[in-house]
Every structure is written in C-alpha cells, then in structure tokens.
Amino acid sequence: MAKFSYKARRMNGTMVQGFMEGDNPIAVKTKLSEEGLIPISVASASSGIGLSLAALTRKKVKPEEIVLFTKQFATLFKAGMGMENILSTLSKQSSNPTLKETLETIKNDIQQGASLARAFCKHPSIFDDLYINMLSSGEEAGILDEVLNQLSDVLEKDFSMKKGVKSAMLYPKIVVGVLVCASAVLMIMVIPKFKDIFSQLGAELPLPTQIMIWISDFMQDYFFMIIGAAIFLRFLFNRYYATPKGKFKVDTLSFKVPVFGPLGLKVANARFSNILACLYKSGLPVTKALAITGQTIGNEAFMRDVRILQSDVEKGNSIAESMRNLTYFNPVLVEATSIGEKTGALDGMLSSIGEHYDMEINHTIKNLTTMLEPMLLCCIFGMVAVFALAIFLPIWGMSDAMLK
C-alpha cells in the first residue's frame, strides 16, 4: 500500500491534514469520508526531490483541454469504439505531453484489469472528484455514454462561465494598472521637475501642491521600500488566505463588493445548480452529490453553506427547507429546488435554474463594461484633476501676483 498526504475538513469547517496508507487516492478519500471528514486533496507522500522537480517542469493540462478531451471521449464511446482504442486515439492526437502520457498510463491500467474510474483516479491533478465520481457512477449504472455527455456539458458550461468572468475582469484590471503606472511615473519623473521650478520662484505653494510634492519625495526616497512592503503585504495576504478563517472572511467580503459581488454569487449558484444536477442525474445519492459539489464551488463562504446543507440533508431534512435557513442560496434556486423535490424532478429543475443563471451571468458580463465605465472614467478624471490642480494652482497664483 502507498502512503498519501491528505487535507480534509471536519463538518464544522476545521481544516485537518496528515498521512494515510491506501491503494490509491480514491481509497484514501473513502476512508476519510468513513471517519466523518470531507476530503479536499489527496497526493502521494512518497515523492522525492526528483519527482518534485519533474512535477514542476511538467506542462499543466488546461481546463479547455479537459473539456475537449471529454467531448471527444463521449463522441468516440457513443460511436462504439473500444475503450483502449479510444484512449490510444486521443493520446496520439493530444498536443499536451502531460495529457498524452496520462492517457497512455490510464490505457495500460485498463489493460491490466482496472476499472475506468480507478484508472482515472490515479491522476487527481488532472481529473478531479467530480470527474472520477461521474465516471464511477456511469460504469456502475451502465450508462457511461449518457454520463460522459452530461460531464462534457457541465465542464463546458463551467469553463465558459469562468472564461467570461475573467474576460470581464480584464478591462478594469488594465485601466487600474495603467492608472497606477501613470501615477507612479508622474510622481517620480514629472513632479520633481515642477518642484525645482517652484523652488526657484520662491512662491508659497498651495496645500494640494505641497501634498503632491511630499508624496513625490517619499516615493523617490523610499521607492524600493514601497515595492518591498507591497510584496510583503501580498505574502501576508496569501498566508492569511491560506488559512480556513482567512479564506472564509475574504470570500465572504468578496460577495459584498459592488458589481462583482452579486456576479460572484450568481456564478456560485449557477455552478452549484449545474454540478449538483449533473451528479444527481448520474445516479449518485444526493448527500454524496452535495459533498462533491461543495468542493468544486471555489468560494469558502458558499462552500460552508453547502456543507451545512449536506449535514442537514443527512439528518433527513428537506433540501429546500435547509436552503431557506442559509445565507447564499438565491430565493429562485430555493423555490426551484422545492418544486423539484415535490414533483420528483430535482435534476430537471436544477438544470433549468442552472440555464437561467447562465443566461443572467452572460447578460451581466456583456453589460459589465457599460456598468464599470462611469466608475473608471470618474477615477481617470479625478486623477487628472488632482494632478492638474497641484501643478497649475501655483502657476495661477504667481500670475495673479505678477498682475497685481
């Protein structure tokens, strides 16, 4: 048996980590679940320095490559091609050496008698719990073709959603970055020249100009200290965010940010609906489907609500009623879930509400630039006005004095 390192959470949200022996990562996760823990990550603990260096130099498999692979996998399986031929064909046409090597390893494991899910679960850095559990349920129920199609759809939706949000964030990031760079250049290169001019004239400077010159002097004298402090603060933030308490607090605040907070909450509800519908439709028990869904959302505040929901459902409570008592589930999602439970069509209702959120998110992303433009323009005009006043107020003052 191999030795694995693991990270898991107790039902109260406390993080635990340690080592455990098992045949493979999925066996270790099963043991952790039996002990009342929620597995987060399981990795081989027997890797040495050489393996670590090799892992660092390996090319990562991008989400879009997994989406494409899954779509091709589903198409070839539906066409009736054998599993070994499918994996061999997809391995040959893959341009990513890491994915190519992984598919060859999976093919060899299947040739030696391993199940599809067991062969895939040996590569947790590429195929996550959602992927493995859906393959496992599809194999057990004999509906692998349907499950692969469902998995392909949910991965494609998830990737498109994330890509859309990243694209929407790009514009404000560029504007803010340009503003910061322009301000730094003005403070370090432009303001000092005006300072020399003002000092030669010997005029009394207005307060805005004095403040601007003080900031310029400070940035020139302590430039490297400012950069170092920024890097150190970023390091402290990353350390804090890596703790359960820090991640929970930061992720909670992220839902309160204007414009982006409501968008992030919609994305979380959409991912919850789409992934839970996909898992439930594939035949997984709702409690296990909730446990897997909770690990894939990406926001600790929302994930904590999902863990509480899972605990309530395990006690026999209704999903919708439990949702009503939690913070981050949208009322529309709660009502749709309630109808789905009463009519016995929970997966269909969740899929419908997921599509509803997808449309809302796409609409919000398309209008995001329009919503942000006034705010960004105010920042630009504000910066220009501050610099203009600081530079021209002394000139106007001296002009008035000369005229008198």
- pLDDT tens figures, 84-105: 899 999 998 888 888 898 999 8
Integer angstrom CA distances of residue 9 from 39, 88, 295, 400: 7, 38, 10, 70
Residue 119: CATH number of its domain:
1.20.81.30
Residue 40: its H or E element: strand 38-44
Closest CA to 150 of 126, 134, 164: 134
Are 46 and 81 in the same domain? no
Find where tokens 């692969």 sit. 148
Q: Which helix (H) or strand (E) holds 37?
A: none
The verdict on 220 and 259 lying in the same domain is yes
Select the more confidently predicted residue: 392 or 350. Answer: 350
The residue segments making up the domain with residue 19 are: 2-57
pLDDT at 249 over 90: yes
The reply to whether 180 and 277 lie within a common domain is: yes
Mean pLDDT of 278-289: 84
CB of 42 closer than 8 Å to CB of 124? yes
Contacts of 87 (CB under 8 A, 6+ apart): 103, 104, 106, 107, 110
Same domain for 400 and 261: yes
Do 377 and 230 belong to one domain? Answer: yes
Which residues are paired to 17 by β-bridges?
Answer: 7
Same domain, 173 and 40: no
| DSSP-assigned beta bridge partners for residue 21 | 3
Residue 49 has pLDDT above 60, yes or no: no
| Residue type present at position 277 | A
What pLDDT is attached to residue 48? 44
At which of 153, 168, 198 does a domain end?
153
* One domain for residues 142 and 161: no
What is the average pLDDT value for the chain, to the nearest integer?
Answer: 83
pLDDT at 13 over 70: no
Residue 47, phi then psi, degrees to nearest 5: -80, 135
> What is the reported pLDDT for 228?
93
Query: What is the average pLDDT across 135-153?
Result: 84
**Above 90 in pLDDT, residue 26?**
no
- Per-residue confidence at 1, pLDDT binned at 50, 70, 90? low
Task: Please state, for a pLDDT cut of 70, what percent of the chain lies above it.
Answer: 91
**Is pLDDT at 16 greater than 90 in this prediction?**
no
| Mean pLDDT (whole number) for 175-204 | 81
Residues 88 and 46 placed together within one structural domain of the fold: no
| pLDDT higher than threshold 80 for residue 42 | no
Residue type, 387: F
**Mean pLDDT to the nearest integer, 106-116:** 87
Domain end, chosen from 57, 72, 103, is at 57
Q: Which of 71-75, 111-115, 168-172, 289-293 has the highest mean pLDDT?
A: 71-75
Q: Which residues pair with 19 in a beta bridge?
A: 5
41: helix, strand or coil? strand
Q: Do 149 and 203 lie in a common domain? A: no
What are the helix (H) ranges across 189-259? 191-201, 207-221, 223-241, 244-254
- Same domain, residue pair 189 and 335: yes
| Section 135-152 average pLDDT | 84
**Cα–Cα distance measured from residue 373 to residue 258, given in angstroms and rounded to the nearest whole number:** 14
Helix (H) and strand (E) counts in the chain: 18, 3
**How many C-alpha atoms does 304 have within 13 Å on its Cβ side?**
16
Whether 402 shows a pLDDT value over 80: the answer reads no
Q: Quick one: 179 and 328 in the same domain? A: yes
Closest CA to 337 of 276, 264, 291: 276
- 18 plus 73 within the same structural domain: no
C-alpha span between 271 and 299 (Å, rounded) = 11
What is the reported pLDDT for 53?
Answer: 45
Number of domains in the chain: 3
